[in-house]
Structure 1
Amino acid sequence: MLMVDLIVLMDHENVETIFEIKGDNIFIQNDVFIEAGLIENMAQTCSSIIAKDFFIDENNQDKDDVDVVGFISGIKTLKIHALPKSGSTISTKAVLVSKFITDDYSLCTMNCKTFHNEELLLEGEINLFIQDKNPKR
């Protein structure tokens, strides 16, 4: 399930996304967006900054037939301060801490914070692994 509606800002080290939490989201329980949903939103936001290299070439042209898989390889720190309600719109901001990139996969560490309006919901640091499922096309 896609957990990012809009990428507001993205450069080589920063990304900011917006996500509207709808009532039919799989991470809604008792009208509240649960912890796993916040973590998934964080992971998808963070992965966009590194995964973009799999989708766009050095001339900023879209690559064809991209098949990428990614997952959280570790949660270094995580603090959840509050859980938003269904219908809320959250903003997630992430900063690249480190990366290791090969032709076939990428590893990165990202710092992330998620907000509802000005309220801090989540802060943490995660490691991501992203791999091209069809390397050396």
Structure 2
Amino acid sequence: MFSAQELENIPVHTLIPQREPIVMISRVTAYSGKQIRTELDIDEENIFLGKNGFSESGMLENIAQTAAAIVGLEALSAGKEVPLGFIGGITKVKVYELAPALCTVHTQVEILHEIFNITLIKGKQFHLENLLLECEMKIVINP
């Protein structure tokens, strides 16, 4: 496992395959193997930011990238290259509200099941203490 200080020093772009302007994680704040927490600072330049706030698409992408960061941390621990992953399906989506610009959202992902190269996760995104969105996703890792 990684300490909070070690997580703070790991550049996010080394954990996920996405590159700017699509990177939707600013930092990893906690990791325990089956659970991870990240933060995203939403600035005015974010491509998923609209008139009404941070879009549902951006929120779902943030959850997917948070899940990908688990795989990235596992690869980093094993000294391997970070594999590509894809969203295989999204279910049980509940959107409660959109995050405003110029804020930080907090995301938590928990692995529910892993079968072969398919992982089922539950993701939640918060602004302050307010739950913004929750969902389940199937993530397929390219072997």
User: Could you say which TM-score interval applies, normalised by the shorter chain?
Assistant: 0.7 to 0.9
Task: Give the secondary-structure state (helix, strand or coil) at the position aligned to 1:78.
Answer: strand
Give the match for residue 50 of structure 1: 71
Whichever residue aligns with residue 58 of structure 2, its letter is G
* Partners of 1:84 and 1:116 within 8 A in 2: yes
Give the match for residue 75 of structure 1: 90
TM-score (norm 1): 0.81
More helix by share: 2
Whichever residue aligns with residue 107 of structure 1, its letter is I
**1:38-68, Cα deviation, whole Å (9 max, x unpaired):** 00001011122234333331xxxx33xx363
CA distance in 2, matches of 1:107, 1:55: 20
Find the structure with the greater CA-based Rg.
Answer: 1
Structure 1 runs not aligned, ≥5 long: 133-137
Task: Give the one of 38, 56, 64 matched to 2:59.
Answer: 38
Residue correspondence of structure 1 range 52-131 to structure 2 within 5 A:
52-57=73-78, 62-63=79-80, 66=81, 68-101=83-116, 106-131=117-142
Provide the alpha-carbon RMSD of the alignment: 1.6
CA distance in 1, matches of 2:52, 2:103: 10
* Partners of 1:112 and 1:124 within 8 A in 2: yes
Identity rate, percent: 29
**1:109-135, Cα deviation, whole Å (9 max, x unpaired):** 011111000010001111101225xxx
**1:51-107, Cα deviation, whole Å (9 max, x unpaired):** 4333331xxxx33xx363211101121101000111110000111101134xxxx31
Task: Give the secondary-structure state (helix, strand or coil) at the position aligned to 1:56.
Answer: helix
Assess, with a 3 A threshold, how the Cα gap between structure 1 residues 131 and 52 changes in structure 2: closer, same or farther: farther
* Partners of 1:21 and 1:89 within 8 A in 2: yes
Task: Give the secondary-structure state (helix, strand or coil) at the position aligned to 1:111.
Answer: strand
Whichever residue aligns with residue 89 of structure 1, its letter is T
Structure 2 runs not aligned, ≥5 long: 1-21
